[in-house]
A and B are shown apart, each in its own frame.
Chain A
Amino acid sequence: MNKYFNKALFYTEKKNILASMSAYGICYAIALLQFSGNFFALKRISKLSNITDYTTPAYTLNFMYFFFFAFCITTVVYSYMEKDKKYYFMLTQPYSRTSIIVTKTISFIISIIVPAVIYGVISFLILAFNKNYLGSNFGKLSVELFLKLFSIIAILVLLSTLLQLFQMVFGKMIVGVIFPVIYVCMIFLNLSLMKNFVSKNINGLRTAIEYINIFLFSPGNLQVGEKSFSTLSFSTINYIDKCYFLTSIILLLISAILVYAAVKLNSKIKAENTSDIFMFRFSEVIFKVIFSLTFTIIGSLIISGLLYYLYSAVLGMNYSTYLMNNYGIQGKESIEHNLYLVLDILWIPMFVFIYKLFSKIMNGRRIQ
């Protein structure tokens, strides 16, 4: 056990656990007030059949609300301690590197589970004391409550472990917080921009980006392609609402994989790098790839836009209108997608060029 869990380390996490628990506690308290307020108000004025669907304890727990809050709090808690100071001390202490991560993860999980259990118990008691009023709905509401709590715990555990993994990659604390957020924003930005400018001539890529966009922009939803009237149309299903339990188990499994990855990365961390921006060579490569991709996409679209307006000015009319007048809707679309194809092909050498330029600038700065 000593290799994986350490009481002394857990003791140093005490303040962080209490801070996280208080933050989550505030969320649950708001949700509880909202639920109980609605429940008792509607109980007074309505019949049971009208209220069961939307005033359950589970309903008041909003996923996105927790996503945001958990992310902020965990980030603040993590920022609380300076990484270099922490590592320089911890590496001299009688516990393994593995126990540093595992103990931290356990303390995260405790700070997530305890408030959730308290919320669950109080909500359940409210339901239990109104069992006669709820009748046959009591069982359904109770099961729904605990399933949703379980899925929230799973999501928060995943978020915490993901953040822990990000923290492993970047040395400087503020950078360790800002960079992952910038990365995610840039990936979203690139995908949403690319979606409109990938040519239909490379339909596989266009469809893949479509899928990824739906997955990322609408968490919990999955897009399903359906072929009807010889065209492919998409419909969205909400997989979280459909199967709380299974989704939660999958999220917890992913969390376990992330913890394992964090343990492996932690064993490779060099104390002297903890004050650098990039603690590993690969984190610098990822940074350069995402930055170069963003520059490529945004740069090429700005240039394309400028060329479009310049050519429109030369023609004396909007280029789209010109195409429409001369070739019809089908022809316009076909020409546009051929132009997009040229742009898409140009992205490859442009990306390589910007990546190399970026590497050269970074190396130059490093030598100075």
Chain B
Amino acid sequence: MHLKKKAYFFMLDATLALFVLVIGVFLVLSLYVKVPQSAQVDFLSKDIMNFFSDTKIKDLDNRYAGIGGDLWKNGSITDPENTLLQQVGEFYANSQLDTAEKFVQNVSDIVPKQYRYEVWIDNTRIYPRDAPQDHVKSRSNTELLLTSKKLIFGLNNRTASSIWGPYKAEVFAWEK
């Protein structure tokens, strides 16, 4: 009778130990499950869009795209009140796609290197216009591609009566 009680005790102990081991293995394995960081990419696409739509040319300190910069001097940029996104839209409306691409490239050094992004206006990819192979491959292989959208429009210049737009502006972002 005394021995039977001991066996029952050890069996319960062994079962508990096994239970602990199974849970432990499960927990260790669950730490290695890769979950895409949707929040960060989402923030990034929104941040890029907000940066482009909230920053005005007059507020930009940039030798290429700011006031007094290359594009200002050659007359490509005339309105300091334009937001960066409006300026890209204006280049698109005036068929200055190369200038638009270079403009985006010059003003978007805020994007962390581990991410890639694209800027589209009216279903036309503005940046990068001729995407390198690794860029295309990265986009097609990514598990999480997020986009931010906005409608853009503007005056060709402040005194004229011609409006461009409204165009759909999109920023796509994903992790490399």
Mutual binders A and B:
no
